[in-house]
Amino acid sequence: MSLLSTDTLHELERLNNDCKGIVGILIKWRYPFFTDIRSLVVPPNSALVGVFGTPLRRHMDTATVEKFAHVIYYNTDYEKALEGGAHTDEISLPEIAQAIKEIVAIVDCKKLRLIVWEEMLVYFVANLRESFGIPGPTNAELEKIRDKRSMKECALERGIPTAPFLVLSDLANTEEAKTRIESVLSYPLFVKPIYGVASAGNARLNNQEELMAWLLATKNKGHKETLCISQSFFYANL
């Protein structure tokens, strides 16, 4: 059964025939636009198509909708997609995958570009690109900037200045962890999960007391995620 309506299929055929440039597919899942996209400029001879979860419809004003040549809404089970606290590389949204499959059957995949503004979907969308032969960043390419350790190591290899850091994966002995951290880094410290979205799991630690409190709290929560800890190397007075 097709996820796309007859009108949508006809519109995609028109875009494929009329657009000599790219057809951008902007995918959104859970969150409305947090920035005003009314000033977004679509390149000449190109088009922008939206693929949005149905709950986002109520957040779409007329000016925003008019930026798109066409908008496709889909129903999705948010709870099922997040079962077990899925990580960003585990999210699976069959409704979006089906929509892209049907779009690729009509629009030349060389024209297509998949655009995603929600961090939780970055790997999922990269998988779609690879599955359907759509140009754009692959998972292997994204890994270098999504994995904070790989990102910093990549920067160092290329002579790009980066704050001193270490990777911490064992909090069983908080005193040993503190000693290791303080032997390499100086305060203030910034903690981030190796993988993460938005600012979840981030912390700023200004001194040893805050470091120990954070280590104990994190250990007691049973936190098992590998963390990247770096020191500040510049300050800004705002």
Strand pairing class (47-53; 70-74): parallel
160 alpha carbon, distance to own chain's centre: 23
pTM of the model: 0.76
* Fold equal for 6-142 and 147-231: no
Protein fold of 6-142? Rossmann fold (3.40.50)
Alpha helices in 76-167 (DSSP H): 78-81, 94-104, 122-132, 139-146, 148-157
Chain segment 183-224, per-residue pLDDT in tens: 888 888 888 877 666 666 778 889 999 989 988 887 777 655
pLDDT at 179 exceeding the cut of 60: yes
Helix (H, G, I), strand (E, B) or coil at 138: coil
pLDDT at 154 exceeding the cut of 60: yes
Does 147-231 carry CATH code 2.60.40.10? no
Q: Of all residues in the chain, what percent are helix, strand and coil, respectively (each to 5)?
A: 40, 15, 45
Cα–Cα distance measured from residue 10 to residue 73, given in angstroms and rounded to the nearest whole number: 16
**In the chain, what are the domain boundaries?**
6-142, 147-231
Nearest to 34 by CA among 104, 110, 117, 129: 117
Cα–Cα distance measured from residue 116 to residue 67, given in angstroms and rounded to the nearest whole number: 16
When pLDDT is averaged across residues 92-118 and rounded to a whole number, the result is 93
Q: Which pLDDT score, from 0 to 100, does residue 223 have? A: 57
Chain segment 39-55, per-residue pLDDT in tens: 888 888 999 999 999 98
Preceding amide of 188 cis, omega within 30: yes
